[in-house]
Amino acid sequence: MSILLKASFVYCGIEDETIVIGFADDEFDTKDYVLFQKSLFTDDIPILNKVHITLNSDNRAAYGGIVRIILSQKLISIILSKETASSLGVADSIDIEYDVDKKEFNSLISHFHKLNVEQEMVIEVK
């Protein structure tokens, strides 16, 4: 079972040497969101080299544990390890509905591949 977020705002970019990808229900009055972050620099602490995922609150966050990401132009499914799902308070995955054009979709794909530089997750593009 997964949770569903309907995102009207999608962001991907690099800020302060960190790759950032975010999905939110609203750009300014945000209540529901999923945020992915990963530093471009390697840290001496291995866990900090994993993708950091936040779901709606800093209290619902984890490093790593993203098993698979399935991307299409209207939907993304993030399949999580049991440990990460538990940390985020979800059963096993997060589905996000969103609407972007082809250029934004290609940028999203590119940024997810940058997150996955260490090949820790499977990325499928449909």
72, two tokens: 């299409």
Please tell me whether residue 39 adopts helix, strand or coil conformation: strand
24: Cβ–Cβ under 8 A, 6 or more apart, which residues?
7, 8, 9, 11, 30, 32, 33
- Residue-by-residue pLDDT tens, the chain, 126 positions: 577 899 999 999 999 989 999 999 999 999 999 999 998 887 787 777 889 999 999 999 999 899 999 999 999 999 999 999 999 999 899 999 999 999 999 999 999 999 887 778 899 999
Q: What is the pLDDT of residue 56?
A: 95
Predicted local distance difference test score (pLDDT) of residue 41: 83
